[in-house]
Structure 1
């Protein structure tokens, strides 16, 4: 039965997705209203309903008014919980704060904003949120302003955010109100950085060994009044007492070398290895504070530095 369920689930979800796309297309922000909320009994609810039927049959068979009264009371509670379960989700607004981003084969966190109806955070309780087709879920006892949902990243690229299942079994667990929300948002999956970054992946504009002049850390200058005697060159003073000299330490100003990260025109597994290496090189250059650019077979990202530059380069790698 489990194997049959797994085999039929893709067909079921494909048909349900068509229905949901017509009923609720993707928008930046969604407020849960009556047409978006579905309610079904839970497993505990079905057993509870079976108990009500059993008590009613016993009461009518033995003409016991007390058992009949109990069955009517439980039935009233069962029906009342439908209204309470619906009201618990009704009016809740969900929106996505920013596009998610992360590396392949890792979990990517996406921030969602929750706005309670009438700004009453205590109105929505026992909320459960998860992306469809994902194992990770978040359970919130009350409505919070922001919540983070994780999604397992697969291959690199730019993906549309899957539907979010929002559900609740408040207050008695007899019914489950749920809704599948589509938010107009996407997330980025970058190539996973390589474990090691050989120097061949980064191509500097000029070879440092051939262009940088070897400057001595120490230089000699004539002694002037006020110089510390600790810097006197005593051996030089012994040879020529008339012209004392002092040793002064010079620190050359730091110079950042502008670098290019180049991805060769390859395909298949070679391309994936080159993209992983380029991802590693970009992270290394960003940490060093140097300006850098990216050269792809069909695209060149101009040199710059900072988080925005790193994001542009990684997004270009994801779409390569």
Structure 2
């Protein structure tokens, strides 16, 4: 006979999410937060709850048995828990946590958030944690007057675009008897790029490595001598070939050309394999084009990206590859 497993009611999770969303509506949805009395939350921790229960039992026993020593121990335990609550609040107050930037990644590596943390006074045992990110917290033992940075890994291993969820700032200082926490939720989107897959499509690679004779466009410029043309009155005398004038008594002007590499287009339909393999191959090609400083455009099923080059163009292409058919969170 099978054992019936009871699942946690989903409405409890929905209620918690609603309360958290309402709580974060104004105070915590920002890129930088300084913990003050209206953004710090303090309660006894699990250990603190047990400690308080023992103190209550001691108090009841002391009353029943009229034992002053037991009553003294109960009062002392109450003082300790109250002192821990005040000290935990004082420890976190004034701490400033600021979101700096994102270290985006290629699947299946997780992206990371870079944080800057500072405090006017010494702050002990601070932890930054992300929802559903087990054992990947960012723990800081002590924050003094200096500004420090830490990196928080995110639990996103699949290609896609992700909206940041509330990040919890917590501390169990002192003694582990209290839980002091707050939240920060930057208005930022994190991208996980496709895995880089070296493409077997030699046609695309040959376009990237085209030489000047086969894959170059010629433009009027100053790079390389091309020919001599007859001098016209409006041309001036800067480029007159005086050597030829001395021989032929004819004014000839030097014409120069520069060479620009042919633009390359990377097409999703020209790749091989399934969707993820094609996106991985395109990811490889745009990275190679960026390293070679080649102008390129990209054609995807859902959009086309115009010709360009440089780091911003690379980032725009990689983000577009992340969005192809991906589920947003």
TM (normalized to structure 1)? 0.73
Q: Counterparts in 2 of 1:153-164, with a 5 A limit?
A: 153-164=156-167
Gap change, CA 1:114 and 1:50, over 3 Å in 2: same
1:303 is the counterpart of 2:303: no
SS in 1 for 2:25: helix
1:41 match: 44
Deviation of 1:259 (Å): 5.7
Gap change, CA 1:9 and 1:137, over 3 Å in 2: farther
Of 125-134 and 25-34, deviating more is 25-34
Of 182, 185, 193, which residue of structure 2 is paired with 1:182?
A: 185
- The number of aligned residues is 271
Gap change, CA 1:274 and 1:9, over 3 Å in 2: farther
Distance 1:100 1:148 in 2: 9
When the two chains are superposed, the root-mean-square deviation of aligned CA atoms in Å is 3.1
Deviation of 1:128 (Å): 1.1
1:229 match: none
Say if 1:164 and 1:180, in contact at 8 Å, map to a contact too. Answer: yes
Residue-by-residue CA offset, 1:24-48 (whole Å, 9 max, x unaligned)? 3522211222222222222211221
Gap change, CA 1:22 and 1:209, over 3 Å in 2: closer
2:222 match: none
Distance 2:6 2:318 in 1: 40
Of 197-206 and 137-146, deviating more is 197-206
Gap change, CA 1:201 and 1:5, over 3 Å in 2: farther
Q: Counterparts in 2 of 1:229-248, with a 5 A limit?
A: none
1:276 match: 280
Say if 2:305 and 2:317, in contact at 8 Å, map to a contact too. Answer: no
1:141 is the counterpart of 2:141: yes
- Structure 1 unaligned residues grouped into runs of 5+: 213-254
Runs of 4+, deviation exceeding 4 Å = 6-9, 205-210, 255-259
1:52 is the counterpart of 2:55: yes
TM (normalized to structure 2)? 0.71
Distance 2:5 2:131 in 1: 19
Residue-by-residue CA offset, 1:264-303 (whole Å, 9 max, x unaligned)? 359xx8443321110012223334x341313224323423
Distance 1:2 1:170 in 2: 37
Give the helix-richer structure, 1 or 2. Answer: 1
2:195 match: 192
